[in-house]
Amino acid sequence: MNSKKIALITGANKGIGLETARQLAKQGITVLAGARDEAKASQAAAELRKEGLDVPGIVIDVNDEGSIQKAAARIEREYGHLDILVNNAGVMFDDREKKPSEQPLDVWRKTFETNLFGLVATTQALLPLLRKSEAGRIVNLSSILASITLHSTPGSPIYDSKQPAYDASKSAVNSYTVELAWELKDTPIKVNAAHPGWVKTEMGGEGAQMEIEDGAKTSVALATLGPDGPSGGFLHMGETLPW
């Protein structure tokens, strides 16, 4: 049985996921960098190895039940437990030129398949291993765009930014976070939703103002919360966001 903390990050081959892996590994945590295929997982591991960080790659495609189960079996076989799950993998397919009513149903389906159903499937498969941790931590990557309060408040930072399939999928992630935290309230496991910020990634696009290094900080903080930390929260840099 490995005595070091073990973390799994989905979608860790680039952007915020890769940076989260880097920062957790620098804290001495054994981090598994999850990616959809072997090439991407190996690439992430190789990049971090150049920095002196031993971060094994692991194949986990959150849209593939078999891939999720295989990853869970490997973690159980090699480590016996899991301390941290960062559900980082996510997609945005909304056409920003189209109105909310014009987004194709296919965009809605593909978005929810990864952002919600894939996240739930991954969490369900790994929860037995998290229950073996002395202090399990689940971090669900959300977004300020999940905030129904801010979307409906004229003058808010996101009032004029509408990507309905993405936004609604992240609102659903927030809802799941609250319900799972409620279920686990009498256990050492904490579950929180993280808004990383508007980060300079492929998904962030033009106009993003936050460096990737800062974009990972909320995930890292929630992954390493102490026993007095929150559970069932929606946070950015330690501040609670409105639902």
Catalytic (active-site) positions = 166, 170
Distance CA 78, CA 95 (A): 42
Token reading at 22? 């880097």
Token reading at 89? 């993998």
Residue whose entry in the numeric block shows the structure tokens 């690439």: 43
State which amino acid sits at residue 153: T
CA angle 132, 138, 139 (to 5 degrees): 160
CA angle 24, 30, 36 (to 5 degrees): 85
Distance CA 49, CA 189 (A): 30
Sequence-distant (6+) residues with CB within 8 A of 58 are 8, 32, 33, 34, 35, 41, 71, 74, 75
In this structure, what are the phi and psi dihedrals at residue 242, rounded to the nearest 5 degrees?
A: -75, 140
In this structure, what are the phi and psi dihedrals at residue 12, rounded to the nearest 5 degrees?
A: -95, 10
